[in-house]
Amino acid sequence: MTLFIQSMQYSLSFPSGEVNYIFSNATEALTAITAKDSCILITDANVAALYPPFFEGYKTLIVSAGEANKTWESIKIVAEKLLEYEAHRNTLLIGVGGGVITDLTGFIASTYMRGVAFGYIPTTLLGMADAAIGGKNGINLGLHKNILGTIQQPKFLLYDVAFLSTLPDEEWSNGFAEVIKYACLFDEALYQELSQHNIHFYKHNDQDLERLIAKCADWKNKTVLADEKEQNGRKLLNFGHTAGHAIETLYNLPHGQAVALGMIIACTVSEKACGLNSAVKENLKALLLQYNLPVQLLINPGRVMEILIMDKKRNQDSIDFIVLNKVGEAEIKSLSFDIIQQALVSFAHASSN
């Protein structure tokens, strides 16, 4: 597989469709991909306000920003607007924004008129390194994250790191949570590289940033190409997300922060379930702090458990949990709810000291 910075364009064939990766100036590339009257852009209020020239001349649907809007209500509003705009089966929908917008766009495009073509222009680090890749399009229902969703690939992913120039510091940190996840799962060298740098470094070294995003994109694509429908290996990508998702909705945290905490909890589970050396968790905590991510939170383990047991990787009496054997090596283990409950209790205890 090619690293994207080495080529301006390449495509990958997934069972549910071919994805064209384009690395270019977003305005110019979008003009080349589609005529302005053949597509509708979907974005959030922040991105629309920051980049008015980019949206000029396009029909644009603007959704309120933030995770709280990744809901049925937004889907209904967008669908009604699509009808108002007379969107038809050949209308191309394009999500321009972070993971919330790409998830919403993918979901609506996969269901509107039983499915229309769509593309993504990710504008956050988290979106570029993770959320926009892989074809999972989920929305939340109450406290349950991504419980409704589809797996359908976008026709294209258009990357333009210039969008990151306006990204707030907190969103850089959130993006790094997923980057650190890829390092923990697959790539010890990447983990070492991250240990030697910080956000300031990547913000000011475009080539290193692009290489970093490319590595994460490659790891995700490799995993998804082998198991698009998440029957097996794709589950690995949920490292830190099982507890993380429950904490995210319960305590109203940004996705990246919740994943950071979820990875700490997953390390505790790994210590209990497969003897992970406790030094790994301590080292990971230091790395997360280096990227301004949280490592403790006063949680109520019982409440977190109530949400966690409805996780999509749950079986009758167990859950497929992603454990770490060491940095760069993870596995899927079917674990009892008990062992996870114990880890949540010890995380809550450690956070209160």
- For residue 58, give the amino acid letter: Y
Q: Which residues contact 169 (CB under 8 A, 6 or more apart)?
A: 199, 292
For residues 348 and 343, give the distance between their C-alpha atoms in angstroms, rounded to a whole number.
9
User: Which residue's Cβ has the minimum distance to ligand NAD?
Assistant: 99
Q: Which of 66, 115, 233, 302 binds ligand NAD (CB under 6 A)?
A: 66
Q: Is 70 in the site for ligand NAD (CB under 6 A)?
A: yes
Q: What is the DSSP string of 167-188?
A: --HHHHHHHHHHHHHHHHHH-H
Which H/E stretch holds residue 136? strand 136-141
Q: Is 32 strand, coil or helix?
A: helix
Q: Which of 181, 255, 285, 312 binds ligand NAD (CB under 6 A)?
A: 255
CB of 46 to ligand NAD, least distance (A): 3
Q: CB of 149 within 8 A of CB of 138?
A: yes
Per DSSP bridges, beta strands 329-336 and 318-326 are: antiparallel
- Between 127 and 301, CB nearer to ligand NAD: 127
For residues 45 and 351, give the distance between their C-alpha atoms in angstroms, rounded to a whole number.
35
Q: Is 46 in the site for ligand NAD (CB under 6 A)?
A: yes
Number of residues forming the site for ligand NAD (CB under 6 A): 29
Q: Is 60 in the site for ligand NAD (CB under 6 A)?
A: no
Restricted to residues 154-173, the positions that interact with ligand NAD (CB under 6 A) are 163, 166-167, 171
- For residue 67, give the amino acid letter: E
- Between 48 and 276, CB nearer to ligand NAD: 48
**CA distances, 129 to each of 152, 175, 211, 212 (Å):** 18, 7, 10, 8
The pattern of x and - marking residues 127 through 146 that bind ligand NAD according to CB under 6 A reads x--xx--x-x---------x
Mark the segment that binds ligand NAD (CB under 6 A) among 71-79, 125-133, 192-200, 283-291: 125-133
Footprint on this chain of ligand NAD (rule: CB under 6 A): 44, 46-47, 50, 65-67, 70, 97-101, 103, 123-124, 126-127, 130-131, 134, 136, 146, 163, 166-167, 171, 174, 255
